[in-house]
Homo-oligomer: A and B are copies of this chain.
Amino acid sequence: MITADSTKILKFLFEEELLSEIQKVSQLQKVPKGEIMIDVGEQVKFIPILLEGAIKIVREDESGEEVLLYYVEFGNTCAMTLNCCLENSTSEIRAICEKDTSIIMVPVSFMDKWLVNYRSWRNFIFQNYQDRLNEMLKAIDSLTFLKLDERLRNYLKEKSKVADDSTLEVTHLDIATDLNSSRVVISRLLKQMENEGEVSLGRNTIKIKY
């Protein structure tokens, strides 16, 4: 059970009746920046809907190497997570809070009933599957068709959009991890970009110039 106020900001997504159902059965969770919300191999038994903040979704292989898949933002849920809710399997991905974040957690058991009863719920679920598929496609495009320097540019742009700030607090190693590259390579490319006047670099900060 959560307060009616929490759900009110989702009223652009769901009708009044569904909102009050959500309010009755869900829990509110606040997770601070940097914390791991869901890790690879964990069971997930709730559908997370993001009220505030942003979540970074990354994929990890057996040897511990990572790659960033996409971000989940306000009013969205993570379809990769729906996946393992429904199949009762474990998470294929890691979800890390990119900012301080509030989430509504809806028990999986309501999924099917609401699909039948609420058109807005159906729309919500399908819209999310579609968005996630499109994000995955973007990731594949980037990995397949772009050189690392272009991937880096896109990464910085995207991260700056999510943070809503043209100055990023991030280390070269962080970036290397997200792009599955190495720190030296990222430093090299960033220095090049600085020389071209695209960014200015400082300790733990990158300022993007337009």
Q: A residues near B, CB below 8 A? A: 59, 61, 63, 65, 67, 69, 79-80, 83, 86-87, 92-93, 112, 115-116, 119, 122, 126, 129-130, 132-134, 136-137, 139-141, 143-145, 180
Which of B67, B80, B119, B133 has a CB less than 8 Å from the CB of A144? B67
Majority secondary structure of chain A interface residues (helix, strand, loop or mixed): helix
Which of B67, B119, B145 has a CB less than 8 Å from the CB of A140? B67
Bound-state CA distance A83–B130 (Å) is 6
Asked whether, in the complex, the Cβ of B83 is within 8 Å of the Cβ of A141, the reply is no
Asked whether, in the complex, the Cβ of B145 is within 8 Å of the Cβ of A136, the reply is no
Bound-state CA distance A59–B130 (Å) is 16
Q: Could you say which residues of chain B place their CB within 8 Å of the CB of A140?
A: 59, 67, 69, 136, 139-140, 143
Q: A61-B144, A67-B145, A136-B136 are in contact. List 14 more A-B contacts (CB 8 A).
A: A65-B144, A65-B145, A67-B144, A80-B137, A83-B130, A83-B133, A83-B134, A92-B134, A93-B137, A129-B129, A136-B137, A139-B140, A140-B140, A143-B143
Bound-state CA distance A179–B90 (Å) is 30
- Identical copies in the complex: 2
Known A59-B140, A139-B140, A144-B67; contact A86-B126, beta-carbon cutoff 8 A: yes
Which of B69, B79, B93, B180 has a CB less than 8 Å from the CB of A129? B79
Q: Could you say which residues of chain B place their CB within 8 Å of the CB of A65?
A: 144-145
Q: Could you say which residues of chain B place their CB within 8 Å of the CB of A69?
A: 140
Bound-state CA distance A136–B112 (Å) is 25
Bound-state CA distance A96–B75 (Å) is 36
* Most B C-beta atoms less than 10 A away, residue of A132, A144, A145: A144
Bound-state CA distance A28–B9 (Å) is 46
Q: Could you say which residues of chain B place their CB within 8 Å of the CB of A59?
A: 137, 140-141, 144
Closest Cβ of chain B to A22, distance in Å, is: 19
List 25 interface pairs A-B (beta carbons < 8 Å), by A numbering: A59-B141, A61-B145, A67-B140, A67-B144, A67-B145, A69-B140, A80-B133, A80-B137, A83-B130, A83-B134, A86-B130, A92-B137, A112-B119, A115-B115, A115-B116, A116-B116, A129-B129, A132-B133, A133-B133, A136-B136, A136-B137, A139-B140, A140-B140, A140-B143, A143-B143
